[in-house]
Amino acid sequence: MVTEHQQWLAQLEKKSIEKQEQFMNDIASKLRRPRQRQAPTQPFRGAPDFWTELEWDEEKRIQAFTDNFVSVGAHIARVKNMEEVSQFIANKSRELSARYIIRQNEQALKDLGLEEQLPEVQISVWNSQADENWKARAAEADIGVVMADYATAYTGSVTVLSSPEKGRSVSLLPTVLIIIIPVHRLYTRLGETLDRFDEVGRENLPAGIHFISGPSRSSDIENDLTIGVHGPGIVYGLIMG
């Protein structure tokens, strides 16, 4: 059954498709040539060649990532394995007197065993059941725990991809953000991660791809830097491996 709203959207789409032809034809006519319907050859695509050759060894990648991350007010801890990650999170949680934690619904994060380590803390698992207001759970959380899908040493950034099990809100709404960064996912250049999205193609992209390079900040008031405006103000990166 088609609702009124859906009917309206369908009408708009019809109008839009008609307008599209007109819009593009107008562009072509202003450029004084027929419509370009085939993909033109890009004479220059992506970063300059000398840049794509840049590749650092693991030690340098870790050092650069650390320096960049710390320089913007985030924190780095070096951990060997998931046991140490678990310890770190548990300690931090007690230190900050956290009452609510939210984590992504991933096996690796389940294996951290946070529920056992922190029985006094309410730990939510993103989208682990229906009929729960997950955005509210993320909003009330003191700590959000995510695992980086990729990371970039040159800019000190992590990349997280959304999915039914991995909410965008988990790395955005809590006050504190803890990101686990497996060292084998840490690359030198931003392009190494960006290229993947071209490779996998449109249909395989998630709704949200988020690059996070530190705590939320603003200098809008008299150029005075303040941390934690809308996103998490306290960010920990755990480089693991």
Partner 1 sequence: MSQPGVMDTTVKERAGLALNDDFLRKAVKFTTERLRNGKKSASEEHGNWDEWRERGRQIRLHTIAHLDYYLNEFVNNARANGVHIHFADTSVEAAAIALDIAAHKQASTVVKSKSMVSEEVHLNHVLESAGIEAIETDLGEYIIQLAGEAPSHIVIPAIHKNRYQIAELLSKEAGEILEPDTTVLAGFVRKKLREKFLEADIGMTGCNFAIAETGSMVLFENEGNARMVSTVPRTQITLMGMERIIPSWTDLEVMATLLPRSATGQKLTMYMSGITGPRRTADADGPDEMHIIIVDNGRSLQLGDPEFQELLNCIRCGACLNACPVYRHIGGHAYGGTYSGPIGAVLTPALNGNIDEWNDIAGASSLCGACYEACPVKIPLHDMLVYLRRRKVEDGHGNKMESMGMKGFAAVVSNSKSFSAAIRLGQIGQKAVVRNNGISLKLGPLKGWNNYRVAPSLAKKSFRQQWNKLDQELNEKQRAMDSSVRSRMEQIIREREEGEGKKHGH
Burial of 57 (0-12, 13-18, 19+ CB in 10 A): exposed
Is residue 46 part of the contact set for partner 1 (CB under 8 A)?
yes
Cβ distance to partner 1 smaller for residue 82 or 142:
142
Do 102 and 144 contact (CB within 8 A), yes or no?
Answer: yes
| Binding residues for partner 1, total number by CB under 8 A | 88
Which residues in the 74-103 window bind partner 1 by CB under 8 A? Answer: none
Which residues are 79's β-sheet partners? 240
- Going by their DSSP bridges, the two strands 176-182 and 122-125 should be labelled as unpaired
Cβ distance to partner 1 smaller for residue 33 or 80:
33
The piece of 2-10, 76-84, 88-96, 115-123 that touches partner 1 (CB under 8 A) is 2-10
> Residue 39 to residues 32, 36, 42, 96: CA-CA distances in angstroms?
18, 8, 9, 54
Burial of 210 (0-12, 13-18, 19+ CB in 10 A): middle
Interacting residue with partner 1 among 114, 157, 174, 181 (CB under 8 A): 157
The 3-state DSSP class for residue 15 equals helix
Interacting residue with partner 1 among 55, 72, 83, 99 (CB under 8 A): 72
Tokens of 109: 């994060």
Is residue 207 part of the contact set for partner 1 (CB under 8 A)?
yes
**CA neighbor of 233 nearest in space, from 70, 67, 73:** 73
Cβ distance to partner 1 smaller for residue 117 or 197:
197
Cβ distance to partner 1 smaller for residue 119 or 201:
201
> Residue 232 to residues 102, 120, 152: CA-CA distances in angstroms?
13, 23, 20
Do 113 and 176 contact (CB within 8 A), yes or no?
Answer: no
Interacting residue with partner 1 among 144, 156, 174, 237 (CB under 8 A): 156
Is residue 237 part of the contact set for partner 1 (CB under 8 A)?
no
Cβ distance to partner 1 smaller for residue 197 or 241:
197
Interacting residue with partner 1 among 70, 77, 90, 139 (CB under 8 A): 139
The piece of 87-95, 108-116, 180-188, 224-232 that touches partner 1 (CB under 8 A) is 224-232
CB of 115 to partner 1, least distance (A): 20
Which residues in the 14-43 window bind partner 1 by CB under 8 A? Answer: 16, 19-20, 23-28, 30-32, 35-40, 42-43
